[in-house]
Structure 1
Amino acid sequence: MTVRLSLLGNPDAPAAKAADHFGAASRTILQDSTLPAALQKLVLLGASQINGDAYATDVWAKNAAAAGESPARIHLVAAWHESTVFTDAERAALALTEQGTRIAHAAGGVGDEAWTDAAKHYDQDQLADLVMLITLINATNRMSVIVRRPGGDYEPGGLGQR
């Protein structure tokens, strides 16, 4: 697969500047949020898998592994409903991620049950961070899918390491 377009090709172009802002917003959440770093990576991985973004799936699976996440948990994000390796808090975040990513497929968007369950485990600031993280990765996934950014070559140590 060949990349159709580099959004960062011309650093002075509006698209490159906007992409830089997306990156800065994501780094702010990843670095400053009180959400556990492992949870953040699982959420980013889960949304990226749902959206079919090979590049981001590669990034977040490798970053999770480099941060010490177990192979079982990384592999089971895509099947979290049927797995036993996630805590109740992680399951609530993954449910919110899934419903927030599949908005077009869910009547009414994110359901009250998913929101209420997440609110049991996360305070208001963490919920806001989770919403922003889900929103940013969904937008980023769409950019990568549209331009066909391939996965497989990412080396851990770049994005979202903490």
Structure 2
Amino acid sequence: MDARLDLFTNPVLGKFIKHVNAAAGVATSAGVPLGTLELMELRISQINGCAVCVDMHAKELAHHGETTVRINLVATWREATVFTEAERAALALAEAGTRLADAAGGVPDEVWLEATKHYDEEQLAALVAVIAGINTWNRLNIITAQPATGEYVPGQWG
């Protein structure tokens, strides 16, 4: 499978990606554990079917010490008992923020209210930024048919 466009050498997409990366980077300074943000990115990428990002975030999680069990159970987090209540709230928000068309009115109030029990306003903003950022990356990769080569090395892209 060949990509339709090269995301990094295309002049328009290259500029766009620089802004996406800069915007996404602010989320890591809000005090949400990096592992939680990576779990969210993995789950969103699974939902969207972005193989490039699934590969990347699974490897990043492992690189940062996450267990294989938790990485493998992200897809079924609701039935798994290995995630904290805060992580579960973040994953629920990630799913709701990704599947906007599934619920009339967008993210259900109960999902948002559960997240507010575990995260302050700055952290909630970081969760929203991560959801928006990885959904953007998933769409860039899927629309341009980026192949998942399995060759991603943790830390390679930031």
Shift of 1:22: 0.5
Name the amino acid aligned to 1:20: K
Distance in 1 between residues matched to 2:69 and 2:106, nearest whole Å? 30
8 Å CA contact 1:66–1:156 kept in 2: the answer is yes
Shift of 1:28: 2.7
Any idea what the Cα deviations from partners look like across 1:66-89, whole Å, max 9, x if unmatched?
000000110111111111010011
Give runs of aligned pairs for residues 12-91 of structure 1, distance below 5 A.
13-30=11-28, 32-91=29-88
8 Å CA contact 2:53–2:138 kept in 1: the answer is yes
8 Å CA contact 1:99–1:109 kept in 2: the answer is yes
8 Å CA contact 1:59–1:159 kept in 2: the answer is no
Shift of 1:150: 1.9
Shift of 1:103: 0.5
Shift of 1:23: 1.2
Any idea what the Cα deviations from partners look like across 1:37-57, whole Å, max 9, x if unmatched?
110110111111101000011
8 Å CA contact 2:52–2:146 kept in 1: the answer is yes
8 Å CA contact 2:26–2:126 kept in 1: the answer is no
Which structure 1 residue ranges, 5 or more long, are not aligned? Answer: none
Q: 1:121 pairs with 98, 118, 123, which one?
A: 118
Which structure 2 residue ranges, 5 or more long, are not aligned? Answer: none
Name the amino acid aligned to 1:28: V
Distance in 1 between residues matched to 2:61 and 2:157, nearest whole Å? 11
Name the amino acid aligned to 1:52: G
RMSD: 1.2
Shift of 1:27: 2.3
Identical residues among aligned pairs (%): 50
Name the amino acid aligned to 2:2: T
Name the amino acid aligned to 1:154: Y
Distance in 1 between residues matched to 2:32 and 2:147, nearest whole Å? 29
TM-score for the superposition, normalised by structure 1: 0.92
8 Å CA contact 2:45–2:51 kept in 1: the answer is yes
Shift of 1:158: 2.3
Any idea what the Cα deviations from partners look like across 1:90-136, whole Å, max 9, x if unmatched?
00000000000000122221001000000000000000010011011
- 2:100 maps to 103
Distance in 2 between residues matched to 1:33 and 1:155, nearest whole Å? 26
- 2:5 maps to 5
